[in-house]
């Protein structure tokens, strides 16, 4: 069975996830950080795009400050052009997997398709064979939109922080090309909400229609 895919992202009240130059903004507070680290500890893998690695250099670990005896899920990066820096912080601890395309030949990297970007359906099949049952997609906007567009997302969680970032070039939770007409719009069904810190967590199921 395809791994369950959960998207988790934090955005400002005006729907932005970082500054226009893509540098990181602390949108969540302690309560939401704790929730995210518990969620990371519950899944088999955490996935980000190379854009997020280059912008934020995340560790993608589970902090023992939030979770006792954390299990450290597999970290996955989508990188079709081989741009992941060798000293990226995600390499420091735990297991990782870089998913790329046929053009890139790097020891240990996994080739998913011969297109311009990592073929997500192929990646899901590889992960399924590895026994991965759940994947947490943490960003950024390009990667989240690809997963949504490929109809691979089961649940979409967004924390809305009490701030306005603004800027027409600031990244949003779902960038990429976006819907080209009304039929491309992806429907969500709200199933849970919760006040955390001074923001709101919204949890949706994704409803793909034929
Ligand atoms: N607030 C939050 O919760 C949060 C979380 C994470 C990130 N962010 C922010 O998001 C921004 C980064 O997002 P981003 O959209 O620029 O980058 P991204 O989504 O992290 O990565 C996009 C890149 O991944 C690669 N990729 C490979 N296969 C792909 C596929 N099938 N679909 C899509 N991308 C694929 C592509 O680069 P190649 O062609 O080179 O492979 C693509 O340009 C940063 O500003 C970061 O701070 C915010």
Protein residue with least CA distance to atom 17, ligand 1: 51
- Rounded to the nearest integer, the mean pLDDT of the chain is 97
Best residue among 49, 82, 170, 177 to mutate for probing ligand 1, ranked by most atoms within 8 Å of CB: 49
* 136: three-class secondary structure by DSSP: strand
Q: Is the CB of 146 under 6 A from ligand 1?
A: yes
Predicted local distance difference test score (pLDDT) of residue 177: 95
Which tens digits make up the pLDDT trace of 120-170? 999 999 999 999 999 999 999 999 999 999 999 999 999 999 999 999 999
Q: Is the CB of 17 under 6 A from ligand 1?
A: yes
Query: Pick from 72, 150, 74: which is nearest to 118 by CA?
Result: 150
Q: Is the CB of 50 under 6 A from ligand 1?
A: yes
Q: Is the CB of 123 under 6 A from ligand 1?
A: no
Tell me the CB-side half-sphere exposure of residue 125, using CA atoms within 13 A.
7
Q: How far, in Å, is the centroid of ligand 1 from the Cα of 144?
A: 8
Predicted local distance difference test score (pLDDT) of residue 209: 82
pLDDT mean over 59-71: 94
Predicted local distance difference test score (pLDDT) of residue 111: 96
Predicted local distance difference test score (pLDDT) of residue 137: 98
Q: Is the CB of 199 under 6 A from ligand 1?
A: no
* 100: three-class secondary structure by DSSP: strand
Q: How far, in Å, is the centroid of ligand 1 from the Cα of 165?
A: 19
- Spell out the domains of the chain, with CATH numbers in brackets: 4-207 (3.40.430.10)
Q: How far, in Å, is the centroid of ligand 1 from the Cα of 140?
A: 4
Which tens digits make up the pLDDT trace of 25-63? 999 999 999 999 999 999 999 999 999 999 999 999 999
> What per-residue string of b and e applies to 120-133 under the rule 16 or more CB within 10 Å gives b?
bebbbebbeeeebe
Predicted local distance difference test score (pLDDT) of residue 210: 76
Contact residues for 86 (Cβ-Cβ < 8 A; gap 6+): none
pLDDT mean over 60-79: 95
For the CA atoms of 131, 33, 53, 108, the dihedral, rounded to the nearest 10 degrees, stands at -20
Query: Pick from 158, 76, 159: which is nearest to 124 by CA?
Result: 76
Contact between 55 and 140 under an 8 Å Cβ cutoff? The reply is yes
Predicted local distance difference test score (pLDDT) of residue 88: 97
Q: Is the CB of 48 under 6 A from ligand 1?
A: yes
- 161 forms beta bridges with 12
Q: Which atom of ligand 1 is nearest to the CA of 78?
A: 27
What 8-state DSSP symbol labels residue 157? E
Which tens digits make up the pLDDT trace of 96-125? 999 999 999 999 999 999 999 999 999 999
Predicted local distance difference test score (pLDDT) of residue 72: 87
In the chain, DSSP assigns E strands to 4-12, 45-49, 74-78, 96-100, 110-111, 134-137, 155-161, 187-196, 199-207
């Amino acid at each position: 069975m395809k791994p369950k895919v959960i998207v988790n992202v934090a955005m400002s009240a005006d729907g932005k996830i970082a500054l226009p130059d893509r540098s990181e903004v602390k949108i969540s507070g302690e309560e939401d950080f704790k929730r995210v680290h518990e969620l990371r500890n519950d899944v088999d893998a955490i996935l980000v795009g190379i854009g997020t690695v280059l912008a934020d250099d995340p560790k993608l670990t589970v902090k023992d400050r939030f979770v006792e005896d954390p299990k450290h899920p597999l970290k996955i990066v989508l990188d079709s052009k081989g741009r992941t820096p060798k000293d990226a912080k995600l390499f420091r601890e735990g297991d990782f997997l870089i998913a790329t395309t046929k053009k890139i030949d790097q020891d240990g990297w996994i080739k998913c398709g011969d297109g311009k970007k990592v073929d997500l359906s192929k990646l899901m099949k590889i992960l399924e064979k590895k026994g991965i049952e759940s994947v947490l997609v943490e960003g950024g906007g390009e990667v989240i939109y690809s997963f949504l567009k490929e109809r691979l997302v089961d649940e979409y969680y967004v924390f809305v922080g009490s701030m306005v970032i603004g800027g027409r070039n600031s990244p949003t939770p779902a960038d990429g090309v976006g819907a080209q007409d009304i039929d491309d719009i992806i429907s969500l069904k709200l199933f849970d909400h919760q006040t955390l810190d001074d923001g709101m967590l919204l949890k949706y199921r994704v409803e793909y229609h034929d």
